[in-house]
């Protein structure tokens, strides 16, 4: 689960500091869990609903505040959390992020299924799950809208823009989860209280045996900026909807668009 700036803000209040190449969150707006990651936890909980012996671990790589998103996962019903955080792990590129996460998965050991969001809602790259799969040498299935585990196999319904697919893979496997899976469950107050008592460890790069060369960037962020939109909208005037509609139809005709 990744902690990200709240995406649900009006585009007009979205700002970037071009010098630091970072987003400036509007004051008073708290960071949140990346939307698809909560849905990935939901996918895990549905597997656990079917077989309560399944153990679910939530991992987050990020600032100490990412503890909050792990707690959200624990409140949804996950069993334990791992926060990977230290100053040497800031500003990593996506392959370094996958290196850290796959090292953590290896350290946990005995992981049958890795679930991630289809993409993080900040960078929208959609590569982390697949990169992890490569690093732990597991098959990957992307864009899941349903995930079930049976007889050492994961069965995934994939949602694609023009098709749906049913794909099977042997465990251990990696599955990336899409919003079509459905809403993440809403923790009850009792569960939120109980989450505070669940185990939550913090690991640093050294705990994973990772040093600077292992995390050297392959992709460099050269710049981050807000694109300028200079369209000026022409609002159709009129006293009635009919007049407004006719004004639009005539403008479309003038502009040779109809």
Partner 1 sequence: MPNGVLILAEVVDGEVVAITNELVGAAQRLGAGPVSAMLIGAGVEGAAAKVTGVEKTYVVDDAALAQYTTDGYVAAAAAIAQQADPAIILLGQTDMGRDLAPALASKLGTAVAMDTIAMEMNDGKLHTTRPAYGGNARAVNSFSTEPAIATVRPKSQDAIEGGAAGAVEKVSADMSGVRTNVVDRQEASAAGVRLEDASVVVSGGRGLGSPENFAGIEELAKVLGGAVGCSRAVADLGWRPVAEQVGLTGKVVSPTVYIAVAISGASQHMAGCSGSKNIIAINKDADANIFKAARFGIVGDFKTVMPALIDAIKKVKDEG
Q: Are strands 3-4 and 32-33 parallel, antiparallel or unpaired?
A: antiparallel
Give the number of other Cβ atoms within 10 Å of residue 147's Cβ.
22
Least distance between ligand FAD and beta carbon 63 (Å):
20
Which residues inside 11-40 make contact with partner 1, applying CB under 8 A? 11-12, 14, 16, 23
Say which entry of ligand FAD, partner 1, none residue 35 contacts (CB below 5 to 8 A, set by partner kind).
Answer: ligand FAD
Q: Which two tokens stand for residue 226?
A: 């807000």
x/- map, 3-42, ligand FAD, by CB under 6 A: ----x---------------------------x-------
Bridge partner list, 80:
57
Which residues inside 108-137 make contact with partner 1, applying CB under 8 A? 118-119, 121-127, 130-131, 133-135
Helix (H, G, I), strand (E, B) or coil at 242: helix
Tell me, by CB under 6 A, how many residues bind ligand FAD: 3
Q: Is residue 106 a contact point for partner 1 (CB under 8 A)?
A: no
- H/E stretch holding 3: strand 3-4
In the complex with ligand FAD, the residue whose CB is nearer, 35 or 102, is 35
x/- map, 173-212, partner 1, by CB under 8 A: -----xxx--------------------------------
∠ at Cα 213 (201, 1), nearest 5°?
35
Which residues inside 107-126 make contact with ligand FAD, applying CB under 6 A? 121
Q: Report the C-alpha gap between 148 and 168 in whole angstroms.
A: 10
Residues 139/141/142/145 CA torsion (nearest 10 deg): -150
Bridge partner list, 140:
174
- Candidate ranges 45-53, 66-74, 206-214, 222-230; the one touching partner 1 (CB under 8 A): 222-230
Is the separation of the CB atoms in 22 and 16 below 8 Å? yes
Q: Is residue 236 a contact point for partner 1 (CB under 8 A)?
A: yes
Least distance between partner 1 and beta carbon 248 (Å):
6
Least distance between partner 1 and beta carbon 17 (Å):
11
Residue 121's contacts (CB-CB under 8 Å, 6 or more residues apart) are 4, 7, 34, 35, 36
In the complex with partner 1, the residue whose CB is nearer, 169 or 195, is 169
Least distance between ligand FAD and beta carbon 253 (Å):
23
Is the separation of the CB atoms in 108 and 57 below 8 Å? yes
Give the binding site for ligand FAD (CB under 6 A).
7, 35, 121
């Amino acid at each position: 689960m990744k902690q990200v700036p709240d995406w649900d803000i009006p585009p007009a209040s979205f700002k970037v500091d071009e010098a630091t190449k970072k987003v400036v969150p509007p004051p008073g707006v708290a960071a949140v869990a990346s939307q698809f990651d909560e849905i990935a936890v939901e996918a895990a909980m549905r597997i656990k609903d079917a077989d309560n012996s399944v153990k679910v671990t939530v991992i987050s790589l990020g600032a100490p505040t990412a503890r909050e998103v792990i707690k959200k996962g624990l409140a949804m019903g996950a069993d334990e959390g791992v926060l990977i955080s230290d100053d040497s792990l800031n500003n990593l590129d996506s392959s370094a992020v996958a290196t850290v996460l796959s090292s953590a998965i290896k350290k946990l050991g005995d992981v049958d299924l890795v679930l991630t969001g289809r993409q993080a809602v900040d960078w929208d790259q959609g590569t982390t799950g697949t990169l992890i799969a490569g690093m732990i040498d597991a098959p990957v299935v992307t864009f899941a809208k349903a995930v079930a585990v049976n007889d050492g196999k994961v069965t995934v319904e994939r949602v694609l823009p023009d098709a749906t697919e049913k794909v099977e893979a042997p465990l251990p496997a990696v599955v990336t989860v899409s919003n079509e899976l459905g809403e993440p469950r809403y923790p009850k107050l009792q569960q939120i209280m109980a989450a505070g008592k669940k185990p939550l460890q913090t690991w640093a790069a050294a705990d994973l045996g990772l040093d600077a060369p292992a995390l050297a960037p392959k992709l460099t962020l050269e710049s981050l900026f807000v694109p300028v939109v200079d369209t000026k909208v022409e609002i159709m005037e009129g006293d009635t909807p009919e007049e407004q509609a006719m004004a639009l139809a005539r403008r479309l005709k003038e502009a040779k668009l109809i």
